[in-house]
Chain A
Amino acid sequence: MSDNAAAPAPPAETSGSPAEFLKNVVGKEVKVRIGQGIDYQGNLSCLDGYMNVAMENTKEMVDGKVTASFGDAFIRGNNVLYISAMEDI
């Protein structure tokens, strides 16, 4: 079929790979969601291949309400659901 020969148009805008996103988001304000509606919001210090996360000035939030704050925090990677950038990257 000649119709099949036409390749789908590429997405108009791409912003790189997931790894590139993670590289760009280091040093930025992020929200890390772990299970059970718990978020950690703070400045992302660094990440590794397991998605272990180190953060600074971290606030723990349950259902959007701040429940604790920590100067630094290490989050074990297996618990990470997503990492959301809270500022432009």
Chain B
Amino acid sequence: MDGPDIPTSVNEPLDLVKLSLSERVFVKLRGDRTLQGVLHAYDAHMNLVLSEVEETVSIIDVSEDGVAQGVRTAKRNMDMLFVRGDAVIMIAPPSS
């Protein structure tokens, strides 16, 4: 076998992530966070390395009596980011 083993179809779920390498992916994390960035590396834990990342945090404002007042979002950008796999809920490659 020569060259990296790039799957041409999805036989197991991790193939979908492998096909997304070097692509701009959407990642949903625990704690109402989402990321969009270029996927550089991943492993079986779903530890991820992303570059040119925009993180969006949804913040639900709650009044003193516990009633939700609305949702705000806060964004920040990072050049390079390592994500610990256990925070990952969902990964979506760019829709082609």
Q: Which residues of A contact B (CB under 8 A)?
A: 34, 40, 45-48, 52-54, 58, 70-76, 78-79
> Which residues of the partner chain A approach B15 to less than 8 Å between Cβ atoms?
46, 54
In the bound complex, residues from chain A placing their C-beta under 8 Å from that of B16 are 45, 54, 72-74
Binding site for A on B (CB under 8 A): 10-17, 26, 46, 85-86, 88-96
Report yes or no: B90 in contact with A46, Cβ–Cβ below 8 A.
Answer: no
For B89, list chain A residues within 8 Å (CB).
34, 75-76, 79
In the bound complex, residues from chain B placing their C-beta under 8 Å from that of A47 are 13
Whether A74 contacts B17 in the complex (CB less than 8 A), given A45-B10, A46-B10, A46-B11, comes out as yes
For A75, list chain B residues within 8 Å (CB).
13, 89-90
Judge whether B14 and A76 touch: CB under 8 Å: no
